Amino acid sequence: MNGWSGICLYRAVTWAASPLLALHFHFRRLRGLEHALRWRERFGSASLPRPPGPLLWFHAVSLGEGMAAIPVIEQCIKMRPCLRILMTTSTVTAFSVLQDKLPNGVICQFAPVDTPPAVDAFLKHWHPDAAIFMESELWPNLLLAASKKGMVLALLNARMSFKSFKHWSTVPARTLIAAILSRFSLIAPQNTIQAVHFQLLGAPPFIINFSGNLKYALSTVNKSMNVNLVMEELAVQLSDREVWMASSTHKGEEEVMSWIHKQLKKTHPRVLTIIVPRHPQRGNEITQVLRKQGMCVARRSQNEKIIPEIDFYIVDTVGELKDLYKISPIAVVGGSFLPGLAGHNIAEAAAAGCAVLTGPYIGHFAQMVAEMQRLVPLSVKQVSGKWELLTVLQDLLDNVKFLEACRQAARHASLTAATGVIHRVWHLLDTFVLTKAFGKAATPCGLPGEGDGSFHSSVN
């Protein structure tokens, strides 16, 4: 099967699946899993008008990728202030948080599903001049249609899991992915392994350029180490407790954290365990399980206070993790303690000054752990399982000087790794994408000079 045949087959299948997907999202809306008012954006039905002038589109599927895009968006606005920015995401959680975190004036929408009708409706309305996709967003219909309309495309912080690489390496899929990757003007991979993956799948070597991992740049967003008034109240409640936090936990990991808490309580009776589930809607489920074990639990979503008897504080709210890191001395980053999981970003906890621990199953985040340990050995500790996690937590709670050394090491390693990432990303975007899409920034507004034919109209 050649590339053109693969594209035609994929397009035909997704055309046929369009009615079923519409029905699927309708039922998700009824179950409260989609935005009640804006779920039709998934099918290209925009809820806002397109602004006039040049439009730059950023897309990130989930919250982590969206947060990593914010410093890049801020730099684009700073350097080319006449650009209008459209930000899309695919998850309700990311949408809810990002629309409050994005700079003023940035338009936030849901991304279309990858069917020809939805993609065509989305691009017809918004007609961006250039698009920047975050990490692993390789949707064939969307990318090929955008390229066909003359959009300049970039893939930032590019990564591909081993499972996805294996899938795209099969004979039927290989020609399709090569056709997709060839449409990009810039691919900035997270590390050399990812660069090799993209080249093996057909990305032209000259479009692959390194800038550093944008996950580190999260430490540059909202740099203040101060906490907001709501968190100050929580910090007061934590002031006389020995606190550690398990963040971004997945189903099954809370059992590990419960066992750890019971062991710690034998020698540290004032210990408090904070659990921040990756999916906040699991808060009630986690609470029920812990209470059946005889644990005293408070839930943040219910505004329950941390009285002295509380064992666990379940933070089942959205968008508070960054502030929680600022008031938690120890962060155990979840999604890493059970087979099949692949870890989560540790840089945000490190930048906030937590002593950072993570489990054995960390996927592509292994590169980040290795880099931070190379910069400062104490910056992050990867444990082999629950017994080693218990030992390290006991050491941290027993030794204030050791805890403070780990916190300082984590902060230093994160900020060192973040230095220069945004500027390198900006240089690549300006060189390979923005200049190509909008022309050189010849005027104070960042628009091409009069008579510069490189700028193409973004509105029909």
- Element containing residue 242 per DSSP (H, E): strand 242-249
Would you say 452 and 442 are in contact if contact means Cβ atoms under 8 Å apart? yes
Mark whether 65 is an active-site residue. yes
CA separation, residue 123 to residues 24, 66, 102, 254, 459 (Å)? 23, 20, 22, 43, 11
| Cα–Cα nearest to 436, from 147, 75, 66 | 147
**């390198």: which residue's tokens?**
424
Distance CA 362, CA 343 (A): 4
Distance of CA 402 to the CA centre of its chain: 31
Would you say 86 and 65 are in contact if contact means Cβ atoms under 8 Å apart? no
Question: Which of 65, 137, 242, 348 is flagged as catalytic?
Answer: 65
Cβ of 313: how many Cβ atoms within 10 Å?
Answer: 24
Q: Is 45 exposed, middle or buried (0-12, 13-18, 19+ CB in 10 A)?
A: middle
Distance of CA 155 to the CA centre of its chain: 14
DSSP characters for 308-320?
TT--EEE---SS-
Active-site residues, by number, are: 65
